[in-house]
Structure formats: structure tokens, C-alpha cells
Amino acid sequence: MEKEEEVLKERWELARVRIAQIAAAPELPGAFGDYFKCTADFLLLMLEAWDKARDRWMQDASLGELEAWNLRLYGELTKDQYKESYANPVYAAERLGTEHGQILSFLRAELQGLVVYAYEQKQEEMLVYMELFLQIHAEFEGGNIPEARQLKDDIYWFVSDYSDLMVAGRVREQIDPSLSFARDLIMEADLADPRYLYRFGEYISDTERKTSAFLNSLPQEEIDRIASVFTEGYRMGFLAAGKPLEKKKTVNIRYSVGFERIIRRAVENFKAMGLESIIYRAAVSRVNMREANRIGYYSSSPNRQFDYDHKGDAALFLDKAFAERKLGVLRTAYERQKELAAVHGGPAVMEIFGETPFEPEKCPEALKLSEKQQAVQVYLNSRMGQITNEYIKGEERSFTIIAFPVPDIGGRFEDIFRETVRINTLDYQTYQRIQQRLIDALDRGTAVHILGKGENRTDLRIALWPLENPDKETNFENCVADVNIPVGEVFTSPRLTGTDGMLHVTGVYLNGLFYRDLTLVFRNGMVESYGCRNYGEEEENARYIRENIMYHHDTLPLGEFAVGTNTTAYVAAKTYGIEDRLPILIAEKMGPHFAVGDTCYSWEEDVPTFNPDGKRIMAKENECSTRRKEDAKQAYFNCHTDITIPYDEIGEIAVVHEDGSRTALIRDGRFVLPGTEELNEPFA
């Protein structure tokens, strides 16, 4: 071990010296010389960050010093500077040529992750990326411009060779409570002093500063109440599903920086349940990312266009051989950590909403997966899901999700926050009673017919599974505030055969991206065609949906149909004018919603689930997921995207009976089924 540390130290010093030499004299003329000088300058900044973190400078610096330092770390990615940054594929391609520009822009984007490695003092991770930069620079020695193919090979073998470090390290981060960088900071820092925000190594904007300041203005009892709703939802998820929480020892908290006062209390609450909290950062290495999705804790992005431009960067190295390499490392890592994986309970997620809406600009220069690579990505995601489920078993884990606004939502942020707290704590018994009326009506049907109105062109028939014993069985789950906060939906896994028609939404945000006039056409429950009007070219619109909703699958099943009942949330959204800012977690409760991808019960179809009235939920799989025992990769798609139609775009939702008669649940955006009229009161 001592010899390994000596070798690491020697490599570190050699890299530091060589990077300084390149920053002083890049040894190349023109644009390539400028690229290597700018990037070497950034690496010197990362080495300075390493030294500052090692010497605990962040703990003693003034607030002004920390703000200025944070801007130095991330300034190149901010909107104004990004235009002339090599992290921008457009600028890089313009200066360096398309192929070389794409590759070198990828490298600059990857090196941004060194901020994290510096703050967490991860020396080996930081070193190998510095050495990658030096390897790429060496290809240009003598002033020759290497073939793009050679640079791609360098990238490919780097991500393959260091999968053991990156992928295995990511597995451990997710299940090992001894890796406690963020948890220690949250539990030990003075959260009333805003300087703590800058110790994470994340980009800190007004969003984080104002969120933290607002939460610091709340009395402790209010913080306790909010945290209790969050953690109690997690506990109730295990209880409602009949899963033994006492067998679990860890929980993963995912949240956005700024909410630390609530998270600190949540950690304490989970500790009282016998659970140690694991708080890991969203991945910063492309080998561990899933396109633009961020899973873990994170702060505001300095530039969401930067994130979007680099979502397809895996195109540089993704092939079947790399996929198999990554899967092998993943399995080995889980096998080494199988005791920790077995006692992991699953995630407790605190989402945010209210960020400035984002509609990405086209970037032809950005890397994109080829059709062959898309197929490999689908395969890789499927196999990774299967391996994870072997060690963190779906039938034994649970989760909870809650959401709160951030100050970006506007001048009435504090009012909206308090209204969100009220919505998150609505009386579940009232909803449970009313939702049972809906379920009773739905269980008497063979299908549900949904019709839009006005500009909404939805005309969709959802097939329901037949019940052999309606006195003891049901198709719909009566969803109250446990895993899915707030209350307000009944949902099912539709029968695919006989599920046909068009789903249309005039405008919707899904996973932070806007879709204009989104349409999905289903035949026998599978997506047959799709479109939107975000861009002028149909091909670009189709690519947008294929990448961000279909996740590169040729088709996906309709995995969920639900009727949202939270009219209180709907009216609040209208009152504050924030309908386009709500997360799907709340929006899905504000009208019927439809999920493309896996069912809500994926990996736990055989675990008995019961409604509060004692009836067993039978509709937990479909014609795709039923293949799981023969071939899991044919059964699961490893995605689930909810799409909601707001009440004011609904003409009718009606239960269709075997004899063709109909029972209306909603007509012209209002509940009309006897026993559900109370849901219309917020509209008054």
C-alpha cells in the first residue's frame, strides 16, 4: 500500500509539472494551441482547488471570497462565457473542426468533474483525468494534427480501463454509509452561516442562497413537520407494502442543495428508525451518467444548455464490448459489496420545482448516439437494472418522493412554499374515501375512454384486466401520501391488448424539458408513433422524443393509467400561475396521467399488495412484464415517464362496461361520479 501511494504521488507531481508547462507554452500553433492552453489553465485551477480543500480554506474564507472562487470554478459554463468556451461543441467545432472539436469538447466537459474530485480529495480519480489530458496533448507533439480516430481510441480505452475505478466507485457511493462527505457536512456545519453552501463543491446560485436563507427563517417546529412528512412517507411505504423495514440499515437521500435544514432533520428521523443515511452526489463522469438525468444530490446547473449539449457524449465510446465491460465491473462491485446492498432500503427523494423553464436549442455539433449505439444503450440499461435488482431486491425495497418550490418560481415564492406544504399534508382519509368511489366504478368496467376538449385531441381507450373475484380483488391502487406525496390518484397497470388511440397534450414539461403539442399514438398498448412541434423539422422533433421520452427504444408500453384527484393542487397552480413549473410528482395528481415505460410495480409484481379496504391489487403487470421469468430484458424498459392532461383539457373520462354502457367519472373537467363531488369544491 505504501509503495502504491508513492507511485501515485510521483505520477501526481509529474502531471502537475507537465500541465503547468503546457499552460505556459502549449507547444502548438493556432486554435489547437489555444485549446490546450485554456484547458491546462483550468486544470491548474483544479489543482489549486485541491490544495484549498486539503488545507480547509473553504471553512475559513469569507463569504465574498467563496462567491468569487465558486464563479472561477464554474464561470466558463455560464451563459455568456459558454459562447466562447471549448466546452461548447459549437465553438469547439468552429475553431477545431467538427470531429476534433467534438472530441476535445467532450474532454473539456469531462474535466469539469475535477471540481468534485478536488473537494472530496479523490486523488486517483483526479489524477487519471489529468493524465488523459496529457495523453491527448501528446498526440499533437511535433505540431502534427492526429487523426480523430486516434483521439477516439484514446478516449475509448481510458473509459474502459478505468471502469474499475469509476463504476465500482459509484456502486460503493450508493450503498456504503462510511462514504459520508455530504452527510458529515450537513450534520456538522453551521447551517445559519451561508458559507457552508460553498463547501459542497457545487455551483452555487441565487437559488441555493435564497432557499437556504428562507428555510433558516422558519421555526424549528416547521422544519420538523416538513421533515416528518418526508420520512414518515418512507416508513409508511414499507408498512403499506408489507415489507420489513427492520431488515434495512441504510436509506439514500436525494435532494437539491439549499434544503439542508430539512435534510439534517430527516437524517435524524431516519436514524431513529434504525437507518443510516447515504447522501451521494449526482455523477460527474460520463461513464456513470444516464444522459442528462441527475441522480443524487446536486445544485443548479450553471448552464442547462451545456448539460443538454453533452447528454450524448457516450457516443465516443459506447459499443457492445464497452457495455459488457461495464456490466462485468458492475456485477463484481455489487458482489464485493453484497452485504451492504442487501440492507439498503431504497431512495427518499426530495425534488424541486419552479426553475426557469428550459427549451433546449438545437446543437448539430453535439455528439449523438447512432441507431446501433441506441440499441446498445437500451441493452445496457436493461442489464444494469437486472444486476442492481439482484443485489438490492425490488420486492424488499421501497421509496418516497416529495417536492418543494425554489425561489426561481417568482416573487410569491414564500406563499407558494407554504401552499405546497399544505398540499403535501392534506387529509389522506378524505381522499382515500373519495378515491374508493372511483375505484369501485372503475372495477365494474372493461375499459376507460378518455376524450380531450378544445385544442386537446386525446381520444384513448384504456383496456382493464378482468377480475375473477371482484369482492376481493381490484385493478386500481388507492394512492394516499406514503411513497408518493402528495395524495391524490388511483392508478393501474393497463391491459395492453385493446389499449388504443391518441394521447395529446398541448404543452408539458417532462424531466425539465418542454414539449409543444406532444402526441403519442398507441396500438395494443404500445407506442406506434409520436410527434411534437418543438422544431421546424419532423425528424428533429422525433429525435427529441426518442432520446428523452422513448430513451432510444423503438416502442414502449403504456405502463400506467391514473386518475388524479388533487383538485386543491390544481387550483393552487392556477391561482399562482405556475402550471408550467410543477414537477410531475404534483402535476400527475392534477388530472389523468399516463406513463410510458415500465409499470409502477416493476421488479415486485409477485409481492401481494392490498388497498385499505382489504382488496388485493391484481393489475400489477402487463403483457411485457409477464415475460420477466423467461427473459427480463424483454420485460423491462428501465424508464417510466408520466404525462398528465390537465383538467381543463378533459372533455370526458368514462368507464366503459361490457355491454357498451358508460359511467362518467369526469365531464368538462369536473368530477361527476356520485360521491366524488367534494373534489369540485376547490374550483368554486
SS3 110: helix
In a domain, 419, yes or no: no
Q: Where would I find the beta strands (DSSP E) of 257-411?
A: 276-278, 344-353, 400-405
Handedness of CA 504, 507, 513, 518 (dihedral sign): positive
Q: Confirm whether 417 is domain-assigned.
A: no
Asked, for residue 224, whether it belongs to a domain, the answer is: yes
User: Positive or negative, the Cα torsion across 284, 288, 294, 295?
Assistant: negative
Q: Are residues 205 and 248 in the same domain?
A: yes
Note whether residue 167 is domain-resident.
Answer: no
% of the chain at pLDDT higher than 90: 87
- 295 and 434 in a single domain? The answer is no
What phi, psi does 147 have (nearest 5°)? Answer: -65, 145
- Name the packing angle between helices 2-24 and 123-138 (round to 10°): 50
Cross-strand partners of 557: 526
Q: Which one, of 638, 590, 569, 558, lies nearest residue 387 by Cα?
A: 638
Co-location of 150 and 73 in the same domain = yes
For 94-100, the CB contacts below 8 A with 24+ separation are: 95/31, 95/34, 95/35, 96/31, 96/32, 96/35, 98/365, 99/148, 100/32, 100/145, 100/148, 100/151
**Do 274 and 196 touch, CB atoms closer than 8 A?**
no
Please choose, from the candidates 656, 379, 386, the residue with its C-alpha nearest in 3D space to the C-alpha of residue 498. 656
- pLDDT the model gives residue 277: 98
Q: Mind listing the pLDDT tens digit for each residue in 349-397?
A: 999 999 887 888 989 999 999 999 999 999 999 999 999 999 999 889 9
Q: How far apart are the first and last CA of the chain?
A: 71
pLDDT, tens digit (0-9, with 9 covering 90-100), for 126-158: 999 999 999 999 999 888 899 999 999 999 999
Task: Give per-residue pLDDT as tens, 520-560.
Answer: 999 999 999 999 999 999 999 999 999 999 999 999 999 99
- The answer to whether residue 407 sits within a structural domain is no
| Same domain flag for 85 and 53 | yes
State the residue range of the domain holding 220: 178-391
Claim to verify: residue 555 and residue 638 sit in the same structural domain: yes
Percent of the chain at pLDDT > 70 equals 99
Residue predicted with more confidence, 487 or 458? 458
Instruction: Report the pLDDT value the prediction gives residue 481, as an integer from 0 to 100.
Output: 63
Same domain, residue pair 570 and 636:
yes
Q: Are residues 53 and 126 in the same domain?
A: yes
Q: Is 412 within the bounds of a domain?
A: no
CA distance 570 to 563: 13
Return d(Cα 283, Cα 173) in angstroms, integer.
Answer: 10
